[in-house]
Amino acid sequence: MAHGAGGHMMQQLVKDYILKYLGGSGVEVPLEALDDSAVIDDIVLKSDCHTVKPLFFPGGDIGRLAIAGTVNDIAVMGAEPRALTSGFVIEEGFPLTDFEKIVRSMGDTCREAGVYVITGDTKVVEKGALDKFVVNTSGIGRRMEALERNIAEVKKHRSFDARWLLDSNLRAGDKIIVSGTMGDHGIALLSFREGYDFDSAILSDVTPLNKLIMELLYVGGVVSMKDPTRGGLANTLNEWSEKSHVGIMVEEDRIPIREGVRAACEMLGIEALEIGNEGKVVVGVVAQKALDVLAALRKTEQGRDAEIIGEVTDAFTSVVMETSVGGKRILPPPVGDPIPRIC
């Protein structure tokens, strides 16, 4: 299960078994960049499989997750998501009423995002060959004016030669912003699945972020964006640090975490910053525009808890967290996700 959990073990699986045979395309942003999406001929392309258990959970369902997940991976490259595909694999005996609920939810989320499913495939396998239902969503996006304006704004403040918002774009002095509370999706899933009764019900944050992201690009100054899904914020920051060859310093006290999520993590011995989110974005921005981007985020429903959590440095090349008690510790990349099958 750890091989599919988004952490170090999955990275190793991808490198040793997938990139070994499927890398080497030579496209603008290739498979081996392991970024949120790939880019070929200015088309942004992404594919995601969804195996969340259970299919319906507090705050969402696999249908909403499937649309939002792919839309967000395309949007965080700085692209406009344009169209999606969906491939269903269904276990024999799966109730048609549940199937309809999932597809209806996909349609609702498509309308919310303004991005539609335009082709797909449906297969049924015999009972026991699959755990109920799996969906693959792929999508394409394209370059948009908001990205050109954003990059022009970055260039007013520092040199920048990338054409997309890649994991490798961070430089010393950039600020790191999170759009909201960390850990909601994973803890909502886990507590519902395992029947834990925490004081307050925690809802998944699963939501399409493409409209919010476009607003940030119009503010300008954004150099990198990433949705902190599997492996959570800890994984996102470590991927950035590794690919940009920089250090990242974050302040624990500034990272927004809901009280209920914090309590659940303490009780279960889980690191909240390693838990997957499905409706949040981490933003790397030039220092001069950080307050403007923060203000723009806070004006929105999805970004009202946004915070500047830290900055990029040349002083070291890892992710370091200044803790609440004033110490400093390395925030390592997660080995595996503490909560399996959340997306």
> Interface with Mg ion by CB under 5 A: which residues?
36, 73, 227
Q: Which is nearer to Mg ion, 80 or 227 (CB)?
A: 227
Residue with nearest beta carbon to Mg ion: 36
Pick from 125, 136, 56: nearest CA to 91: 125
Q: Which is nearer to Mg ion, 153 or 278 (CB)?
A: 278
User: Smallest gap, in angstroms, from Cβ of residue 79 to Mg ion?
Assistant: 13
Q: Which is nearer to Mg ion, 71 or 90 (CB)?
A: 71
Tell me the pairing of strands 319-322 and 247-251: parallel
Distances from the Cα of 94 to the Cα of 128, 132, 179, 217, 328, angstroms: 11, 6, 37, 42, 50
Q: Which is nearer to Mg ion, 192 or 240 (CB)?
A: 240
- Confirm if 214 and 80 have CB atoms less than 8 A apart: yes
User: Smallest gap, in angstroms, from Cβ of residue 138 to Mg ion?
Assistant: 14
User: Smallest gap, in angstroms, from Cβ of residue 113 to Mg ion?
Assistant: 16
Q: Which is nearer to Mg ion, 227 or 311 (CB)?
A: 227
Q: Which is nearer to Mg ion, 63 or 276 (CB)?
A: 276
Q: Which is nearer to Mg ion, 174 or 227 (CB)?
A: 227
User: Smallest gap, in angstroms, from Cβ of residue 165 to Mg ion?
Assistant: 11
User: Smallest gap, in angstroms, from Cβ of residue 227 to Mg ion?
Assistant: 4
Tell me the pairing of strands 43-50 and 56-57: unpaired
User: Smallest gap, in angstroms, from Cβ of residue 259 to Mg ion?
Assistant: 27
d(CA 278, CA 205): 6
- Confirm if 166 and 30 have CB atoms less than 8 A apart: no
User: Smallest gap, in angstroms, from Cβ of residue 291 to Mg ion?
Assistant: 26
Q: Which is nearer to Mg ion, 74 or 296 (CB)?
A: 74
User: Smallest gap, in angstroms, from Cβ of residue 316 to Mg ion?
Assistant: 25
Q: Which is nearer to Mg ion, 227 or 274 (CB)?
A: 227
Type of residue found at 56: F
User: Smallest gap, in angstroms, from Cβ of residue 326 to Mg ion?
Assistant: 33
Q: Tokens for 243, please give them.
A: 């690919």
Distances from the Cα of 212 to the Cα of 136, 207, 261, 278, angstroms: 24, 11, 24, 14
